[in-house]
Structure 1
């Protein structure tokens, strides 16, 4: 446990954590009041915003900051129906002005789905996409454009079994994700040309406390290069630890069939022994935080 706490202190400075644990103390009535108050705040968050005032809407210190604060509150609410309702109310208000509506749709995509956004959140973006594919503001053609992304978001969700896939090893043999036998699988999709991938990989490889922790918890690191350049993949072997599994998607099925949403590099999943998704599109710091919570 001391190792885990030390690691959390070491890595957590870089973590953008968009969730807060509810207090466990207090009676049921008090907890219900807190939740109701939070829901009310979400539902009325945009009441005083004039969507017709496009100058204020497009002012980064006004409209964009309002949206960032709204997203922060959404991320703290565990109930999908509440999140959907809050997003629906907000966008229903915005659709009175198509300029404001289009602006916020782009900002939602930027904050919640862009691979470089520290606030990216598939669950929240699902709420946005559910609205967009049913709204009367968009044409059928415009709505259809969002369906592939929505379908991709529904893959490999937390609590579901991860999509199985075949990969090639350096010796030419092929294995499947389901062949991995360990209590946890730290699945990392990397790009050999990605500097942030290399930084994360080196933290995993070179931090003694982290190496010890993963060994104690029986975590198998499965590193997959899905980008199709065999030479770069083979040359990258020296960047990885010998005890890791380094795989290559030789048939390019990962990208061709959109088995995983690889909008960010690296893309990290934490799986349990049955390959159920525990954490989706996460960060190293959040994996450490998960182990702190589950092993305390």
Structure 2
């Protein structure tokens, strides 16, 4: 079992280098000491590096800020460090320190806010990360730099990133089967549920689905680990959904959101296609807005 999982993870990871998410074109695109002292535990060396990461960066120098090899690279490196931080309080503090420093120059502040969105929330970004973006949004809806109207623009996205977080119970919804019967996500009986929202017009959806369907080792692994694939078309075009059935495996649950509730009520944040979640048997979210290779990596870590 272990060797099977490892070989799958390596092969899927290699294939993923040549794939990118289909951008959803159906939805609208796209100080230090005070904060440190608030932490009751001693600061680790990693935290110290994070909190002092922007000390020598000159926010007033707009040319430096907007130079991709300077400002953008600095932010990318900062995000890599943030991704390793396990607790939200430290992430919030680090992001607040950085943006407080950027506030001295509104042009720099606006530039970095756009870069945060691009890296963390854009459907095509391999670094997209709702957990970190949550810290950014939490800052934006509280900062005194923005007007109330500007803050309100971020609240809908903030509500979305708070939904279906890892550890939470996934939002339940109904879907229609090919035979016309209705079921709910909560009806799924399996140790794991691989929930994939796909767009029939999305090329990357097709590639991901083909990997799931046609890779013998992956099919074997999902069978051994009792993984049920639940493929949902949420876009509301019944004809396209029916014409797409041949692309899906017979052992999967193939559903259609006939009432468009997933999108209408923003039950899930479908900023990219496909959007993938891994759920446990109680429908708790194990992985949110993830990739196939990350699911395999999860199995590597938790089924040895």
TM-score (norm 2): 0.90
Counting only pairs closer than 5 Å after superposition, residues 247-286 of structure 1 correspond to structure 2 as 247-286=255-294
Distance 2:119 2:16 in 1: 16
Distance 1:14 1:118 in 2: 14
Displacement of 1:13 in angstroms is 2.6
Instruction: For structure 1, list consecutive stretches of 5 or more residues without a partner in the other structure.
Output: 17-31
Q: Give the corresponding residue for 1:28.
A: none
Of 200, 208, 216, which aligns to 2:216?
208
Q: Give the corresponding residue for 2:12.
A: 11
Answering whether residue 193 of structure 2 is matched by residue 185 of structure 1, we say yes
Deviation string 1:243-275 (CA, Å, 9 cap, x unpaired) is 001100000111100000000100000000000
Displacement of 1:111 in angstroms is 0.3
Displacement of 1:157 in angstroms is 0.4
Deviation string 1:160-193 (CA, Å, 9 cap, x unpaired) is 0000000000111100000000000000000000
Distance 1:192 1:14 in 2: 21
Displacement of 1:70 in angstroms is 0.3
Distance 2:7 2:80 in 1: 27
Deviation string 1:88-123 (CA, Å, 9 cap, x unpaired) is 000000000000000000000000000000000000
Number of aligned positions between the proteins: 280
Counting only pairs closer than 5 Å after superposition, residues 19-30 of structure 1 correspond to structure 2 as none
Displacement of 1:9 in angstroms is 1.7
Of 42, 67, 76, which aligns to 2:50?
42
User: Is the CA contact (8 Å cut-off) linking 1:162 and 1:275 kept in structure 2?
Assistant: yes
Of 216, 222, 230, which aligns to 2:230?
222
Deviation string 1:201-252 (CA, Å, 9 cap, x unpaired) is 0000000000000000000000000001000000000000000011000001
Q: Which runs of 4+ in 1 moved over 3 A?
A: none
Distance 1:15 1:290 in 2: 16
User: Is the CA contact (8 Å cut-off) linking 1:15 and 1:286 kept in structure 2?
Assistant: no
Distance 1:232 1:270 in 2: 25
Displacement of 1:5 in angstroms is 1.3
Q: Give the corresponding residue for 2:20.
A: none
Deviation string 1:70-95 (CA, Å, 9 cap, x unpaired) is 00110011111111100000000000
User: Is the CA contact (8 Å cut-off) linking 1:132 and 1:138 kept in structure 2?
Assistant: yes
